[in-house]
Amino acid sequence: MARIIVVTSGKGGVGKTTTSAAIAMGLAKKGHKTAVIDFDVGLRNLDLIMGCERRVVYDFVNVINGEATLNQALIKDKNCDQLYILPASQTRDKDALSQEGVGKILEELKKDFKYIICDSPAGIEKGAHLAMYFADDAFIVTNPEVSSVRDSDRMLGILSSKSRRAEQNEDPIKEYLLLSRYSPDRVKLGEMLSVDDVQEILSLHLLGVIPESKSVLSASNAGIPVILDEKSDAGQAYADIVARYLGEEKPHRFIDEKKGLFGKLFGGK
Amino acid sequence: MSTDSQQNTHRSSALEFKSSTFSVPVLVLASNDVVIIEQQLQEKVQLAPEFFKNSPLVFDLQELNKRDVEINVAELTHIIRKLDLLPIGIRGGTAQQNQQALELGIPIHAGHNMSAASGTEKQQTPKPEAVFEPQAVSAATTTLITLPVRSGQRVYAEGDLIILAQVSAGAEILAEGNIHVYGSLRGRALAGVLGNTAARIFCSDLQAELISIAGNYKISEDLNGTVLNQPVQIYLQNHALVIKDI
């Protein structure tokens, strides 16, 4: 049975698209046929992060309007043949999306794909609403700072009251917390909320912590999902997250600060 | 319908009847001495001359008729007009008074529960079933919420409200009765929103942005360190909120 995952946050710039790209690639690499959809109509980014911006012919809105078939618009990833990307339209706005249109496309994708990742735009307006409406699972991407946590909380409220599952009284959307741009050093200095702080406020199952990492920016600029950079801490964090989502037991990493040379030599706890 | 629209093509409707409610001052008379009435009414008008100038007015004779005290409607109307008030109705008058009013061009308002003409059948005892009504209201159902109330969500309960999870900052919970929160209360909690001053708020961890009982409220800044993060109950005593640990 196909599962629809929405990657959402409320707040902008917390790493939704980076996470969507990484998770989609991670699931596909594990052999699951995966599609990732960019719901940010008008501010198309996912194709850049996935490195397929030069192969976009048709987009999401074309398919909704019946100007192209789904197969014409889906772009096969060059790194993994189990992964397909449905880019957003850059020349339109969110009003070009309709609930019926989105529902029809997702139904069609469900026949073919195991996982469908919906990369939500920021905000709580139409684009974000449609991205989460049909979801089975939600990945809430949150930065360890108060405004991001507040916006995530708001988004959780919308997930539990305005989604299809909520409206039809089905089991609620499964919600997972992804804490991104985490920096244990800054937590220790009191400049950032800790994992415990965020979990206390949101009371949500933690799927993983993604450390603040230079590799994320360079991966984005290169158009290669950071999960493929197996040496980077962020890449490893996303690999852990995918494994945990698929049911593997993995201890949480990147929560405590890195030990310096002395720490390593004289062994801590 | 078709004939209507055909007519409308020739001429649009020049008038329309609509129902409306107005708020009009009512002058309730307790004396039939027109000299005293004029004197006291003038004193009242002088307190707020702008408010009363050309103000419409309904005069109520029920109290006088209860005591079978006669008053001359024509004289009364004259006094009211002299003070720049515009009488637009009579209420609680006898048949004779109503007739006098009509002759002066003043409409009759039924008002009150009893008919204006029957001056003797007053002060009906309240219907017995009215006594049972409050009980029915207080039996309003309790609302139970088991999931967190998230930022931006709003919960309204007609009776009591019980929440078995946290209430996030930016969430709002309202109840006509009591509120119980068995989790952190970080949002706004308003109990007794229809004015029930006996309503209380109970929570196991007080971090609220605002707490209110029957409109008496405290904001987060007013909560001092001894009650913050504590299990407390909040109730109203002499119009002041009392926060006490449980």
pLDDT attached to residue A262: 60
pLDDT for res B6: 47
- The question of ipTM being above 0.85 is answered as no
* Residue among B66, B72, B62 nearest B38 (CA): B72
Range list of H helices, chain A: 16-29, 46-49, 60-64, 70-73, 99-112, 126-133, 146-162, 164-167, 184-188, 195-202, 214-222, 233-245, 261-265
Q: Which among A150, A172, A203 has CB closest to B151?
A: A150
The CA distance from B59 to the nearest CA of chain A, in Å, is 54
Q: How far apart are CA A77 and CA A124, in angstroms?
A: 29
Distance (Å) from the alpha carbon of B214 to chain A's nearest alpha carbon: 27
Please report, for residues A201, B56, B161, B186, B212, the alpha-carbon distance to residue B209 in angstroms, rounded to integers and kept in the order given: 14, 46, 18, 6, 10
Query: CATH 3.30.70.260 spans which residues of chain B?
Result: 26-103
Q: By the 8 A CB rule, do B227 and B233 touch? A: no
Check CB contact under 8 Å for B151 and A157: yes
Tell me if A154 and B147 make a contact (CB, 8 A cut-off).
Answer: no
pLDDT digits (tens, 9 = 90+) for B186-196: 999 999 999 99
User: Scanning every residue of chain B, which has its alpha carbon at the shortest distance from the alpha carbon of A156?
Assistant: B150
Strand partners, A182: A211
Instruction: Tell me if A256 sits within 8 A of A43, measured CB to CB.
Output: no
pLDDT over 60 (residue B5): no
Helix (H, G, I), strand (E, B) or coil at A221: helix
Q: Which pTM value belongs to this model?
A: 0.68
Residue with tokens 């002088």: B46
Give the H/E segment covering residue B93: none
The C-alpha torsion from B96 through B97 and B102 to B107, rounded to 10°, is -130
Summarised one tens digit per residue, pLDDT across range B204-237 is 999 999 999 999 999 999 998 899 999 999 999 9
Residue B47: pLDDT band (50, 70, 90) is confident
- In chain B, CATH 2.160.20.70 sits at 120-245
- Scored b (16 or more CB within 10 A) or e, B20-48 reads eeeeeeebebeebeeeebbeebeeebeee
CA nearest neighbour of A239 among A212, A208, A211, A218:
A208
Q: Which CATH number fits domain B26-103: 3.30.70.260, 3.40.50.720, 3.40.190.10, 3.40.50.10800?
A: 3.30.70.260
| CB-CB contact of A159 with A176 (8 Å) | no
Which CATH number does B120-245 carry? 2.160.20.70
Judge: B168–A172 Cβ closer than 8 Å, yes or no: no
Q: Would you place residue A1 in the very low, low, confident or very high pLDDT band (cuts 50, 70, 90)?
A: confident
